[in-house]
Structure 1
Amino acid sequence: MSQSRIEHGSSDSARELGDETFMSAAELRNYVKQTEMARALKDVDSSGGTNKAREELIRSLLQPVAVTPEKIAEVKRRVFGQLRTAAGKGDKEVLVMRFPNALCTDKGRALNNSEKEWPSTLIGRPLQAFEFWRDHLKPQGYGLKAMIVDWPQGLPGDIGFFLTWDEAKR
């Protein structure tokens, strides 16, 4: 398996980083809304709309994004804004990315079992998000908590990346 690395350089696709590598709250709400609507449609007419929305999301998140130094700075500003808002509420962590378990080569098994090498299973933009945390946020003292955040029909579903700043949880 070849791993994607954050590339430094200019690219038109880099403009999308701020909006897609770390999902905004609005994008996350939209994804949840689309998924819930698709599930409801599937229950009504067995159209499989959930799979279509999920497949589209997976396809988009599989495409790595080239990152410029300017985009790195922009993403840091955006993430730190989310962190300030959460800290102002007394929170000690904030969800910065949610993605389908299909973006792990083992569907989240290693992560769910707390295996040390779980990051090696990441692909696409989730891998880039992990590398961004490792290279830019971890040195500043931020932790990353990754976990399965939903369990459809008792099986691992979406994965969430939470940035933490509580000393006890890092």
Structure 2
Amino acid sequence: MLNIDELLPTAKDIRKQSALKEAEKADEHMRLMAAAEAEKQALIEELTKPSGLTEDEKVKRASTVIQRAVKNGLHEVQVYRFPNVLCTDRGRAINQMEPGWENTLTGMPKEIFHLWKDYLQPRGYKIAYQIIDFPGGVPGDIGITLSW
């Protein structure tokens, strides 16, 4: 004869097993979120440092991007997207289009601005830094668009 206690656990035991499974899932989710945050912080740290490229290498990269866009019939191209934490004011001056907004840039976004100022602006190129998303209603990522 079957022992029903071995075959069918109590509802209390099943609830306990379910709670343990949910706790395991929550732990895994938190671990993944922490890993993603650490990866994001590492990337931001990397983006705050100089690229290490020579001026010639930067100009060649810019030329490649521009030529590719022109071959595709474009008159502008987004050349970079970065988190607002790479601005000293988290993108506020860019969002308000305040004079001197470029002074809030750091890292790679600042390098791109100087490349434009030194080499592309004298040749008639335009650059725009613009908030491209507003998570929770506050400035988020910033896009850099080059046009001709």
TM-score (norm 1): 0.63
Q: Which of 1 and 2 has greater Rg?
A: 2
Q: Aligned pair 1:156/2:136, yes or no?
A: no
Aligned partner (choices 33, 45, 68) of residue 29 of structure 2: 45
Note the residue ranges of structure 2 that are not aligned, 5 or more in a row: 1-25
Q: Secondary structure at the match of 1:98?
A: strand
Q: Pick the aligned partner of 2:117 from 130, 134, 149.
A: 134
Contact between 2:88 and 2:104, CA under 8 Å: does it hold in 1?
A: yes
Q: How far apart are residue 89 of structure 1 and its match?
A: 1.9
Structure 1 stretch 123-132 or stretch 100-109: which is displaced more? 123-132
The structure-2 alpha-carbon separation of the partners of 1:51 and 1:153, relative to structure 1 and needing over 3 Å to count, comes to farther
What are the Cα deviations for residues 4-57 of structure 1, in whole angstroms up to 9, with x where unaligned?
xxxxxxxxxxxxxxxxxxxxxxxxxxxxxxxxxxxxxx9x71323442222111
Q: Distance in 2 between matches of 1:122 and 1:137?
A: 18
Equivalent residue number for residue 81 of structure 1: 64
Corresponding residue number in structure 2 for 1:17 = none
- Deviation of the 1:134 alpha carbon: 0.6
SS of the equivalent of 2:98 reads coil
* 1:50-97 Cα shifts (integer Å, max 9, x gaps): 422221111011112455xxx222221221121122122221111112
Is the partner of 2:146 in helix, strand or coil?
A: strand
What amino acid is the match of 1:96? V
2:136 and 2:38 map into 1 onto residues whose CA distance is: 18
Asked if the contact 2:78–2:146 (Cα under 8 Å) also holds between the matched residues in 1, the reply is: yes
How many Å separate the matches in 2 of 1:154 and 1:51? 21
Structure 1 segments (4+ residues) deviating >4 Å: none
Give the whole-Å Cα distance in 2 for the aligned partners of 1:127 and 1:90: 28
Gaps of 5+ in 1: 1-41, 166-170
What's the offset of the Cα at 1:131? 1.0
Q: Is residue 2:107 matched to residue 1:124?
A: yes
Equivalent in 25, 47, 61 of residue 61 of structure 1 = 47
**RMSD of aligned alpha carbons:** 2.0
Q: Distance in 1 between matches of 2:39 and 2:131?
A: 19
